[in-house]
Amino acid sequence: MTQTNNVHTSAEMATSQSFTNSFQGFQTSNYTPKIQSFQDILFLDGKTIISDGALSIGTSSNNPVFLGADSTAYLKVETDGKINFLSGKMSINGDTGSVGQFLKTDGNGNISWATVDFTQFAFSNLAVSGQTTVQADSTSDTLTFASGSGIDITTSGSTVTIASSSSAHNAFKFISATTGAGSASGNNIVADSQSDTLTVEAGTGIQLTTDPNNDKLTIAASQTGETNQNAITSIGVSGQSTLSAAQTSDSINFDSVTDRNIVEITTDTSNKKVNFKTKLPRTLSMSGRIPTRLSDGSLSGMPINNHFINRTVSGAEVSGGGSSVGFSTRAVVCNEADGTVHKITMPASNNNSLLFNLRKPDNSVQELEIDMAESNL
């Protein structure tokens, strides 16, 4: 095709000389050359290229495309498809952005400048009570978890799981003392740590023995003597208040009242014995007995009762008048087989006792001297 030179100094597609590009207002009637294909027309002038169809600008034979201004290439389309900003500059609708900003898209193909949000909700220090604080040395520092005894640490994605590797223990944290049959005092014992130690102290009369091999503590009474005592804790007397022991080492005291029927109480420590003995004077009693051996061989006694006899006394003042005075003596009460009762009086002896005569089966007479002291019968 022969080259044709056609110069127009005034005709342009731009509608105004003040426009910097024809997109500000153009008319294709002012084109300089016009190239028409089967369906599309390409219009050209000194500063504008317009097509009424799809416009393609490219190269062949592995050559890049350069776009520039002011005789300088600022944009290069590489043969591998990269867009190379040769000027190292970019503006979006005249906005070059500010220091530190980046390009972002709204998801609909619209791009804009955005500022990086450097605000991080992150912990730079990790503190444990009583331990040295772990501090991050940089923004990309790594915190390492170390598993201690009985602890397993596993990770899954962004999750860290810390679990016990041993089975759970049902342990008592509190130990309290309550009053049952005995007594109790003091506050609850509280475990201060997982490895705390409970100390058991032996009191009076208690022996503690530990068995580490069998994890056993034996509590036994250390007192001497019979530990299983069948002891009487109460003493009762008919019609009287019951005496009860107030403690395991309580004592009972025996006493004797001072009157006619006094009882002498003595102790025998060598034989662990208490002796009770009546201290009755050997005076004439109101009644007595004559020792008698019964037919079955047992020892008994014939009762001796008071017996009063009236005697006439002159010169004495008698209650109710008269001269008869009742004299007291003793009489043996005898019962015959037919039920007849005989009260037999006795004469006095020279030593102030009574004389009782018994006739034996051989008709011999035995004289018994009755002193009328309290009889053991």
Q: How far apart are CA 327 and CA 345, in angstroms?
A: 12
Confidence of residue 283 (pLDDT cuts 50, 70, 90): very low
pTM equals: 0.33
| CA dist list (Å): 220 to 198, 199, 240, 268, 360 | 19, 17, 39, 33, 73
Q: Which of 61, 82, 98 is the last residue of a domain?
A: 61
**How many C-alpha atoms does 344 have within 13 Å on its Cβ side?**
15
In a domain, 235, yes or no: no
Taking CA 208 as the corner, what is the angle to CA 203 and CA 210, rounded to the nearest 5 degrees? 150
Q: Which of 32, 61, 90 is the last residue of a domain?
A: 61
Task: Give residue 226's pLDDT.
Answer: 56
In a domain, 25, yes or no: yes
In a domain, 337, yes or no: yes
Close Cβ partners of 226 (under 8 Å, ≥ 6 residues apart):
none
Rounded to the nearest integer, the mean pLDDT of the chain is 81
In a domain, 308, yes or no: yes
Task: Give residue 165's pLDDT.
Answer: 77
* Number of domains comprising the chain: 2
Percent of the chain with pLDDT over 90: 10
| CA dist list (Å): 79 to 54, 60, 61, 342 | 21, 9, 10, 168
Close Cβ partners of 313 (under 8 Å, ≥ 6 residues apart):
323, 324, 325
Task: Give residue 352's pLDDT.
Answer: 75
Task: State which residues form the domain around 38.
Answer: 1-61
Confidence of residue 228 (pLDDT cuts 50, 70, 90): low
Task: Give residue 284's pLDDT.
Answer: 43
In a domain, 231, yes or no: no
In a domain, 307, yes or no: yes
